[in-house]
């Protein structure tokens, strides 16, 4: 689904294109979720410079992606021009998720760290969007990501695992995965121990146009 960030488009200058943001939430909690709260603040900051923002929300807790199975693998390995209706139906969900990722200028991923890694629904999303010939390809020099020119933010929260530590198997994995897909500009916004204020300070440093915007939305 697509939701505006509440700002009105600049009707005086139609040449200003909206910033297309894909927001991926994976916290099992809706009320009291630290990653959702910080993602709200980050997206408010992205729009603070006056550029209109269009946000596509993919809530993996509300609708978890399907798991890869034998039918999916068979359909994916069938050349596109040889796929039948059954193959296309099996891949339809993945095609939708890939299209959302391809269309985005900015990707905001909420990453609560569960048992040292990413939530199961987020791993399922990764498996749906990491598609050979669509988001990466194999060349004679090795794999090559196809999603260039995008900015990603990992909004990470953990109660006991220090984000970026040797036992954080979530953010490093996602940073590597995004790089594999061609997304090299990746920033991590961490709320270790639920420290929301530290995360908001990080947003203010990353998005200096209106340092108060993030704090106002998160208050």
Per-residue confidence in pLDDT tens, the chain, 219 aa: 555 444 444 444 566 789 999 999 999 999 999 999 999 999 999 988 788 999 999 999 999 999 999 999 999 999 999 999 999 999 999 999 999 999 999 999 999 999 999 999 999 999 999 999 999 999 999 999 999 999 999 999 998 899 999 999 999 999 999 999 999 999 999 998 878 999 999 999 998 654 444 444 344
Angle at 39 between CA 176 and CA 191, to 5 degrees: 70
Query: Going from the N-terminus, what domains does the chain have, and what CATH number goes with each?
Result: 16-218 (3.40.50.360)
Measured at the CA of 124, the angle between CA 117 and CA 116, to 5 degrees, comes to: 5
For residue 13, the model assigns a pLDDT of: 59
What are the Cα distances from residue 185, in Å, to 20, 47, 85, 86, 107?
16, 19, 37, 37, 10
Question: Using alpha carbons only, what angle is made at residue 60 by residues 175 and 42, rounded to the nearest 5 degrees?
Answer: 60
Degrees to nearest 5, angle at CA 129 with 82 and 160: 155
């Amino acid at each position: 689904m697509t939701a505006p960030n509440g700002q009105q488009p600049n009707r005086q200058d139609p040449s200003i294109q909206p910033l297309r943001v894909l927001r991926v939430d994976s916290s099992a909690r809706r009320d009291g979720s630290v990653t959702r709260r910080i993602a709200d603040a980050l997206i408010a900051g992205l729009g603070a410079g006056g550029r209109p923002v269009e946000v596509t929300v993919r809530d993996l807790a509300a609708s978890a992606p399907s798991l890869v199975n034998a039918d999916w693998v068979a359909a994916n390995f069938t050349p596109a021009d040889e796929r039948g209706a059954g193959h296309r139906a099996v891949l339809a969900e993945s095609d939708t998720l890939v299209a959302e990722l391809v269309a985005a200028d900015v990707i905001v991923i909420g990453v609560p760290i569960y048992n040292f890694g990413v939530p199961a629904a987020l791993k399922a999303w990764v498996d749906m969007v990491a598609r050979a010939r669509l988001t990466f390809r194999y060349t004679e020099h090795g794999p090559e990501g196809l999603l260039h020119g995008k900015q990603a933010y990992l909004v990470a929260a953990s109660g006991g695992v220090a984000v970026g530590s040797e036992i954080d198997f979530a953010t490093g994995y996602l940073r590597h995965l995004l790089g594999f897909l061609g997304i090299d500009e990746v920033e991590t916004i961490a709320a270790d121990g639920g420290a929301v204020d530290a995360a908001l300070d990080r947003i203010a440093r990353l998005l200096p146009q209106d340092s108060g915007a993030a704090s106002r939305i998160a208050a």
